[in-house]
């Protein structure tokens, strides 16, 4: 796989050694067991796969290339390049400005963007409507396009499904940048609908099976379907694609469930005509991180720390998995851990911050599970480990623990 030129401030000696060790031990990535760092009074069990994925490293390399190649020019990102505050703040400090926020709210009016400005498209991609607007303004859109290749793969699959007369069902968060972009690409060649979870898949199934009147469809899914979507025709042949950062098992569950719905309506022998096989739209990095988290959770531990941006979809799903098993703290970086022993952590369900006192148990040996989202720098993970180690003054030296690997 391609190696990217990642700025030094995102690299970590500690995490780099761990990843190198696991890569040498398991080059084919078949072993999902965690890496254990035994410091004596505390043990860190670190997920086999975590941190920057291919798409994020690609986006970072291109963004910094834009800065290096255009001194003195105004450089704009359409929105946050990835969902990580440390990375985005660093880009802002170097003069890059964001045209929109993550929900699509305009921060800089289009009238202020001119043809001699530099535009960087974020890793999530953007809509065809915005691309058209940029081209009409005379802006170059391909040179610094950081759209993740695995996102564009979903768009290509959507295009294929549309040409085969399937309606597109997108499993994603409606306001997420990637979902908005995928919806834009999907609806150009096919009727398209966004559903966020299994509950909405069940509601959709009731329309397919005639358990709900079709005149309620547009109210139920208001704002989530393409203008030409006719539920009387367009629910006959469907294919499920996804926002690549969704919980893979949920996408698979939704696809399997809807396949069963089509079998019930049209018969098993005809279901392949009415339900497309779309398992190939799942992102490898999302799958690896989630599978590694499942394996991580087989380890007996006292708590889990999940590190990443609070608006990061893939990170929130790792939190979701961990919360089912043990106390879990979702933090953006080491600054959320206070010297007093308190921790500020994010509740993704309510989008609120909480403060927990004395979150580390008083034991002879504390076991902590650690993982991070696909947009989280290794240096951020290292900072969290070092902060946690500060609560265990009699622990082994880091160099010794790494040597013991």
CA-based radius of gyration for the chain: 23
| Cα 122–chain centre separation | 13
Q: What is the DSSP string of 260-275?
A: HHHHHHH-GGGHHHHB
* Beta bridge pairs of residue 170: 194, 241
Contacts of 332 (CB under 8 A, 6+ apart): 85, 86, 307, 308, 309, 310, 346, 380
- What pLDDT is recorded for position 271? 85
Q: Quick count: other Cβ atoms within 10 Å of Cβ 19?
A: 18
Contacts of 359 (CB under 8 A, 6+ apart): 303, 327, 329, 341, 342, 343
C-alpha to C-alpha distance for 367 and 45, rounded to whole angstroms: 7
Which 3 state secondary structure label does DSSP give 170? strand
CA distances from residue 119 to 82, 127, 130, 175 in whole angstroms, order as listed: 15, 14, 12, 22
Q: Which pTM does this prediction carry? A: 0.90
pLDDT, averaged in runs of 10, over the chain (405 residues): 83 94 93 96 97 92 96 94 90 94 92 96 95 96 94 94 96 94 96 97 98 96 96 96 89 94 94 84 82 97 97 93 97 96 95 96 96 95 97 94 90
**From 61, 129, 140, 178, active-site residue:** 178
C-alpha to C-alpha distance for 34 and 31, rounded to whole angstroms: 9
- What pLDDT is recorded for position 129? 96
48, 35 contact by CB (below 8 A): yes
* Backbone phi and psi for residue 266, each to the nearest 5 degrees, phi listed first: -115, -5
* Backbone phi and psi for residue 331, each to the nearest 5 degrees, phi listed first: -130, 155
Q: Residue 372: which H helix or E strand, with range?
A: strand 366-372
* Backbone phi and psi for residue 323, each to the nearest 5 degrees, phi listed first: -60, -25
Residue-range domains of the chain with CATH: 8-53+285-404 (3.40.1010.20), 55-136 (3.40.50.11270), 149-243+246-282 (3.40.1010.20)
- What pLDDT is recorded for position 1? 61
Q: Quick count: other Cβ atoms within 10 Å of Cβ 208?
A: 18
C-alpha to C-alpha distance for 308 and 167, rounded to whole angstroms: 34
Which long-range CB contacts under 8 A does 7-13 form with residues at least 24 apart?
A: 7/60, 7/64, 9/90, 9/377, 9/379, 10/52, 10/60, 10/87, 10/377, 10/378, 10/379, 11/378, 11/379, 12/377, 12/378, 12/379, 12/381, 12/382, 13/382
- What pLDDT is recorded for position 156? 94
Dihedral sign, CA of 182, 186, 188, 191? negative
Whether 178 sits among the annotated catalytic residues: the reply is yes
């Amino acid at each position: 796989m391609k190696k990217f030129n990642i700025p030094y401030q995102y690299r970590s000696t500690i995490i780099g050694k761990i990843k190198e060790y696991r890569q040498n031990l398991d080059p084919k990535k078949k072993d999902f067991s965690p890496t254990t760092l035994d410091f004596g009074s505390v043990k860190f069990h670190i997920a086999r796969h975590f941190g920057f994925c291919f798409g994020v490293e690609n986006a970072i390399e291109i963004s910094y290339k834009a800065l290096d190649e255009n001194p003195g020019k105004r450089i704009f990102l359409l929105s946050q390049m990835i969902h990580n505050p440390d990375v985005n703040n660093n880009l802002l400090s170097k003069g890059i400005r964001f045209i929109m926020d993550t929900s699509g709210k305009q921060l800089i009016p289009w009238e202020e963007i001119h043809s001699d400005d530099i535009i960087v498209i974020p890793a999530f991609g953007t809509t065809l409507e915005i691309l058209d607007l940029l081209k009409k303004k005379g802006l170059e859109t391909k040179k610094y396009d950081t759209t993740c290749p695995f996102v564009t793969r979903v768009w290509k699959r959507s295009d294929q499904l549309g040409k085969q007369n399937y309606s597109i069902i997108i499993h994603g968060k409606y306001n997420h940048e990637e979902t908005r972009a995928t919806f834009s690409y999907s609806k150009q060649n096919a009727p398209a609908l966004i559903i966020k979870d299994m509950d909405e898949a069940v509601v959709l199934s009731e329309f397919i099976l005639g358990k709900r009147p079709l005149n309620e469809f547009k109210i139920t899914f208001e704002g989530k379907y393409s203008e030409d979507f006719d539920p009387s025709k367009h629910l006959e042949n469907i294919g499920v694609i996804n926002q690549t950062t969704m919980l893979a098992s949920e996408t698979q569950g939704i696809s399997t469930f809807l396949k069963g719905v089509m079998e019930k309506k049209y018969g098993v022998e005809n279901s392949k005509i009415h339900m497309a096989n779309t398992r190939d739209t799942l992102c490898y990095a999302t799958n690896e991180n989630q599978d590694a988290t499942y394996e991580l959770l087989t380890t007996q531990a006292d708590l889990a720390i999940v590190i990443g941006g609070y608006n990061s979809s893939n990170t929130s799903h790792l939190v979701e998995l961990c919360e089912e098993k043990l106390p879990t703290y979702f933090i953006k970086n080491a600054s959320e851990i206070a010297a007093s022993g308190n921790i500020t952590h994010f509740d993704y369900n309510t989008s609120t911050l909480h403060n927990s006192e004395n979150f580390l148990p008083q034991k002879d040996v504390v076991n902590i599970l650690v993982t991070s989202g696909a947009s989280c720098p290794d240096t951020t993970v290292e900072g969290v480990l070092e902060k946690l180690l500060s609560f265990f003054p009699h622990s082994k030296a880091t160099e010794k623990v790494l040597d013991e690997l």
